[in-house]
Amino acid sequence: MTASDPPPETRSKTAKAVVFNRSYAKTTHDHFYTTDTSEYHNSFLNLSYVAEGAACKIFSDTGEGLVPLFRLYSSGYSDHFYTMSSGEVTSAIANNRMIFEGIAGYVYPTSKPGAIPLFRLWNGVISDHFYTTSEEERLKAINSLGYNDEGVAAYVLPA
């Protein structure tokens, strides 16, 4: 190991990190996030989404200190929803007729060195959940686009 190499714990965590891409469907007001490159490309090549690029990085596999980030979808609202909470999963399925689509990846439930907050916002008028690591985007969504702040969804790595 040289002086410029990151510590082993950072190397192993970073090696598992994958890009969490974001796309947006203007007609249905849906923000969509995925680590699957094929699924991401399909969203803008075949499903009327616009590619917005890397939102952040999350982990493809479980590891020490990581928890699943669950992905759900409502076709009635055309909304993707991501949460670490199994209670929210149960409630979203029972009350909002959302479909469980699996684990999007793994994230930190609390702040860790090198990790940043992934903010969750909700716009009830257009039925859209929006996630961002950018404080500027978060504030614009709240102040200009009608979103309500729902706090930190998870802690992730910068893109």
Q: How confident is the model at residue 10 (pLDDT cuts 50, 70, 90)?
A: very low
Is 2 part of any domain? Answer: no
Identify the DSSP state of 6. Answer: P
Burial 110-142 (b: 16+ CB within 10 A, else e): eeeeebbbbbbbbbeebbbbbbbbeeebbeebe
Is 3 part of any domain? Answer: no
Tens of pLDDT, residues 24-34: 999 999 999 99
Q: Beta strand 79-83 with 116-123: parallel, antiparallel or unpaired?
A: unpaired
Is 27 part of any domain? Answer: yes
Summary mean pLDDT of the chain: 91
Residue 141 amino acid letter = A
Is 29 part of any domain? Answer: yes
Mean pLDDT value of segment 132-151: 98
The answer to whether 106 touches 60, Cβ cutoff 8 Å, is yes
Q: How confident is the model at residue 16 (pLDDT cuts 50, 70, 90)?
A: confident
The overall pTM is greater than 0.75: yes
Q: Domain total for the chain?
A: 1
The answer to whether 124 touches 74, Cβ cutoff 8 Å, is no
The answer to whether 55 touches 89, Cβ cutoff 8 Å, is no
What is the C-alpha radius of gyration for the chain, rounded to an integer number of angstroms? 16
d(CA 63, CA 60): 9
Q: How confident is the model at residue 50 (pLDDT cuts 50, 70, 90)?
A: very high
Residue 115 tokens read as 């990790």
Is 125 part of any domain? Answer: yes
pLDDT of residue 3: 46
Which residue in this structure is represented by tokens 């893109």? 159
Q: What is the share, in percent, of the chain residues with pLDDT greater than 90?
A: 85
d(CA 56, CA 21): 7
Residue 105 amino acid letter = G
Is 1 part of any domain? Answer: no
Q: Residue 114 is part of which domain span?
A: 8-156
Q: How confident is the model at residue 145 (pLDDT cuts 50, 70, 90)?
A: very high
CA angle 52, 145, 152 (to 5 degrees): 70
Per-residue pLDDT for 102 more than 80?
Answer: yes
